[in-house]
Structure 1
Amino acid sequence: MVRPADVTWSRPAVVALAVLTTLVSLLGGVGVLPAGPASAGSGAVSASLASQTVLPDGRRGPRTVQATAPALPDDSGRGTRVVFSIGEQRVWLVEAGERGDVVRRTHLASGSVYDNLQPGTFEVYSRSRHATGIGDSGTMEYFVRFTRGANAAIGFHSIPVSDGEPVQTRGQLGTPLSHGCIRQWRPDARALWDFAPVGRTVVVTA
């Protein structure tokens, strides 16, 4: 039986090992390397992630997770268009393709607490990069108007800011909370702004 030879460490090797150990510890502390093993549930998709924006490659927000975009509502039209479901409080950006329509992005939104928008097909007629709401509804960005209500235009825009604070949280999207328009998280509002010039079709479903 052959016994393994005893290992003799030289002083330079000991110093190098100590430096390496310290470096790994420091990198772990600042997040370059993992500071410890990941928990068994770290790969699970949380409930909050499930409500976030779904991009065409399956990414939700800033983190990449496997996701399936919610299906388009029935009778939501054809061709390049914006679709808003009143019941689901969700927006889809749909682009016509050679092999059929493709959902480029979908995200939750907050429509009106009032019954001021009926299902139908509309067209973007006006846009404002910055806008001010009526009454105490604050200021908003990326306002894309597609129809008119009794007292004001109705369209998509970012969550309004009043007295320096958003009037609702991102987590509240998916619940009707607006005075008439359709509120979106700012990155989603900008994406819709880029997607929907004047003349773009907007389909509203029940």
Structure 2
Amino acid sequence: MAARLPSWAWVTGLTVGATVAVVALAVQADKGPHPTAATARPSASASANAHPSPKPKQPAAPAVPAASGTGRRVVYSLGQKRVWLVDASDKATRTFGVWPGTVSPAVGSYTVSNRTEGPITGSDGVEIEHIVYFAATSGPNVAFSNAVDGSSPPPASGVQTGGIRMHTADGAAVWAFGTAGTKVTVVK
């Protein structure tokens, strides 16, 4: 007659077997690809063997120029062709590149004097919107704006333009931020 194993031996044997199986699966899974939050969903045509590549890191946004004052303001750098929207705590909430017109404002401090939501036709014949005026020159007034169609054509030859153009989303952001009386600082 064969000896029967006690029930505790069966339970122990099954537990050890299950633990070995889980450890083996964990080791195997650790050798495979690891999804991250930065990876995109594969398309339907993606290969089953393809490994997603990590998303390239975006370069850090340029810091707000040191000589641009303090407090809530719009900062425009002539040399960098860039605008920063700076909150009251001196933190840039948004920064982006722009396309200046043929007339630049002098370095200094200004305030938003007038706003026109548009659309209107700019001095270069392009339909523009979200116009935020802040400086007057001996020629045209200087203002931030965006082309209604999102384009940024080169300034018209022989025409004085004071428009500082930007992408549509950036124009909407300047429009929302740059209410009448908002400080605008122009730096080199």
TM-score class normalised by the smaller sequence? 0.5 to 0.7
Instruction: Please give the TM-score of this superposition, normalised by the length of structure 1.
Output: 0.60
Equivalence for 1:44: 56
What secondary structure is seen at the aligned counterpart in 1 of 2:176? helix
Whether contact under 8 Å (1:160, 1:167) holds in the other structure is no
Q: 1:39 Cα deviation (Å)?
A: 5.8
Equivalence for 2:83: 91
Q: Distance in 2 between matches of 1:182 and 1:38?
A: 43
Q: Distance in 2 between matches of 1:89 and 1:118?
A: 14
1:152 aligns with 2:164: no
Corresponding residue to 2:71 among 76, 79, 85:
79
* Percent of residue pairs identical: 31
Q: Alpha-carbon deviations, 1:120-178, whole Å to 9, x = none?
A: 000001001112212x43110100000112232211000365xxx83439xxxxxxxx8
Q: Distance in 2 between matches of 1:77 and 1:158?
A: 26
Matched ranges for 1:118-137 at <5 A = 118-130=106-118, 131-134=120-123, 136-137=124-125
Whether contact under 8 Å (1:92, 1:103) holds in the other structure is yes
Runs of 4+ in 1 over 4 A off after TM superposition: 31-34
Structure 1 gaps, min length 5: 1-30, 46-65, 170-177
Instruction: Please give the TM-score of this superposition, normalised by the length of structure 2.
Output: 0.65
What secondary structure is seen at the aligned counterpart in 1 of 2:117? strand
Q: Distance in 2 between matches of 1:191 and 1:75?
A: 23
Aligned length: 140
Equivalence for 2:5: none
Equivalence for 1:112: 101
Structure 2 gaps, min length 5: 1-41, 155-159
